[in-house]
Homo-oligomer: A and B are copies of this chain.
Amino acid sequence: MPVAVDLVVLTVTEGSLHVLLVERALAPDKGLLALPGGFLLAHENLADAARRELCEETGITPPGHLEQLRSYGPLNRDPRGPVLSVAYLLFAPTFATPQAGGDAAAVQWHKVEDLAGPNATTRLAFDHDQILADGIERARAKIEYSPLAAAFCPPEFTIAELRSVYEAVWGCRLDPRNFHRKATKTVGFLETTGKMSAEGVGRPAALYRLAEGISPNAAILDPPLSRPRKSQ
C-alpha cells in the first residue's frame, strides 16, 4: 500500500491565518493547489518524511511545532488508486518566502478564509480540502489549552502580537485588557524578558517569551485561555 504524507502548514501573517500550498507540477490534478507532501520512503518514519517533503517542495527546514493530524483513505482519494495519507500539522512562524521544488510548480501562502468555510472560493486537489479543514479545527482547539499559539510568534513577542495570533486563528476579536491579564497570569505560559518593544505608536509593550522548559506540545494551560463561547 503506498503511503503518502501531507502537511497542513499554518502561519499567521497580516492579521489572518494562512496555509502553505503548492501548485502541482505533475498529473494527477496538475495545476491545482494542494498541500505539500509526498510518498513515504522505505526505512523512514512518518514525521521524518513530513520534514523531508516540506524541505524538498519548499526549501524550508520547519521551525515551529510539528504534530500528527490524522490518517485518510486509502480509497477514493487519489485517481491513481488507493493511497493512505498521514497528515501532519505544522504551527510555523512566518519565515522566508518558500522556494518551489520537487513536485511543486509554485509555493505560496494562502489566506485560509478563501479556502475553507462558507466563503471558500478555491478547491484543493485530492481530499486536501477535508485535511485542511481538520487541521484548522485542530489548531483552533489546541491553542486554547496549550501554549502552541506562541509557535506562530517570533522567539520574543508582545502580548498584542500573541493576541493577534488568537484573533487570527479563532477569527474573532478579543478584549485587549482581559487578554493581557489572562495571558500574563496563566502560570507556566509566559516569561518576561525585561526588554521592551520599540515598534509602532503608543506606549511601548513588554517583550515576553515562552516559559522556560516548556515543550509547547506537552504542556497544558490550566485554566485554558478560553475561546469565546458565543458570537461576539
In the complex, A44→B84 CA distance in Å?
A: 11
The interface size bin for chain A is 20 to 34
Judge whether A114 is part of the interface by a CB distance below 8 angstroms: no
65-94 of chain A: CB within 8 A of chain B: 68, 70-71, 73-75, 82, 84, 86
189-232 of chain A: CB within 8 A of chain B: 222-223, 229
CB distance from A48 to the nearest CB of B (A): 9
Judge whether A25 is part of the interface by a CB distance below 8 angstroms: no
Judge whether A120 is part of the interface by a CB distance below 8 angstroms: no
Q: A1-B1, A2-B1 are in contact. Are A86 and B73 (CB under 8 A)?
A: no
Judge whether A183 is part of the interface by a CB distance below 8 angstroms: no
Instruction: State whether A43 touches B1 (Cβ < 8 A).
Output: no
Judge whether A45 is part of the interface by a CB distance below 8 angstroms: yes
Judge whether A42 is part of the interface by a CB distance below 8 angstroms: yes
Q: Which residue of B lies closest to A45 (CB)?
A: B75
Q: Which residue of B lies closest to A67 (CB)?
A: B70
> Which chain B positions have C-beta within 8 A of A44?
75
CB distance from A75 to the nearest CB of B (A): 5
In the complex, A40→B45 CA distance in Å?
A: 19
Q: A84-B84, A222-B229 are in contact. Are A1 and B71 (CB under 8 A)?
A: no
Judge whether A3 is part of the interface by a CB distance below 8 angstroms: yes
Instruction: State whether A71 touches B71 (Cβ < 8 A).
Output: yes
Instruction: State whether A45 touches B73 (Cβ < 8 A).
Output: yes
Judge whether A46 is part of the interface by a CB distance below 8 angstroms: yes
> Which chain B positions have C-beta within 8 A of A68?
70-71
| Per-position binary interface string of chain A over residues 18-42, scored 1 when its CB falls under 8 Å from any chain B CB and 0 otherwise | 0000000000000000000000101
Instruction: State whether A43 touches B86 (Cβ < 8 A).
Output: no
Q: Which of A1, A82, A222 has the most CB of B within 10 A?
A: A1
In the complex, A223→B230 CA distance in Å?
A: 11
State the A residues within 8 Å of B (CB).
1-3, 40, 42-46, 68, 70-71, 73-75, 82, 84, 86, 222-223, 229
Q: Which 9 A-B pairs have the closest CB atoms?
A: A71-B71, A1-B3, A45-B75, A71-B86, A68-B70, A3-B84, A1-B1, A222-B229, A1-B40
